[in-house]
A and B are shown apart, each in its own frame.
Chain A
Amino acid sequence: MSRIVFLEERCKGCRLCVDACPVGIISPSGRFNHQGYEVMTAGDGCTGCASCATMCPDTAIRVFRTVRAAEGGKA
Chain B
Amino acid sequence: MNSSSMPTPDALRPRDDERLVFDAPASQADRPTHYCPGCHHGIAHRLVAEVLDELNVADRTILVASVGCSAFSYDYFTVDALEAQHGRACAVATGVRRANPGSVVFTYQGDGDMAAIGLAESVHAANRGELITAIFINNTVYGMTGGQMAPTTLIGQKTTTTPEGRHLLGEGGPLRMTELMAGLDGVAYAERCALDSVKHVRAAKKALRNAFEVQLRGLGFGFVELLSGCPTNWHMTPQAANRRISEEMIPVFPLGVTKNLLDK
Q: Which residues of A contact B (CB under 8 A)?
A: 2-3, 5-16, 19-20, 29-35, 37, 39, 48, 50-51, 53-59, 61-68
Contact = CB atoms under 8 A, between A and B. Distances in A.
B38 A14 contact: yes
B169 interface: no
B12 interface: yes
A8 B14 CA distance: 18
Given A14-B38, A58-B32, A59-B24, A9 B18 contact: no
Interface stretch (B3-11, B88-96, B112-120, B180-188): B3-11
B239 interface: yes
Interface string B1-31: 1111111000110110111111110001000
A15, A34, A55, A63: most-surrounded residue (chain B CB, <10 A): A55
Interface of B: 1-7, 11-12, 14-15, 17-24, 28, 32-33, 35-43, 46, 197-198, 201-202, 231, 237-239, 242
A8 B19 CA distance: 21
Contacts of A53: 22
Nearest to B28: A59
Contact of A30 (B2, B22, B242): B2
A6 B21 contact: no
B6 A55 contact: no
Nearest to B40: A57
Given A6-B7, A12-B36, 9 more contacts: A7-B7, A8-B7, A11-B4, A14-B37, A32-B3, A32-B4, A53-B22, A55-B201, A66-B17
Contacts of B22: 50, 53-54, 61-63
Q: Which 10 A-B pairs have the closest CB atoms?
A: A57-B42, A14-B38, A8-B4, A63-B22, A12-B37, A14-B37, A53-B22, A33-B4, A64-B18, A50-B22
A54 B202 contact: yes
A55 B239 CA distance: 11
A57 B3 contact: no
A20 B198 contact: yes
B160 to A, nearest CB: 23
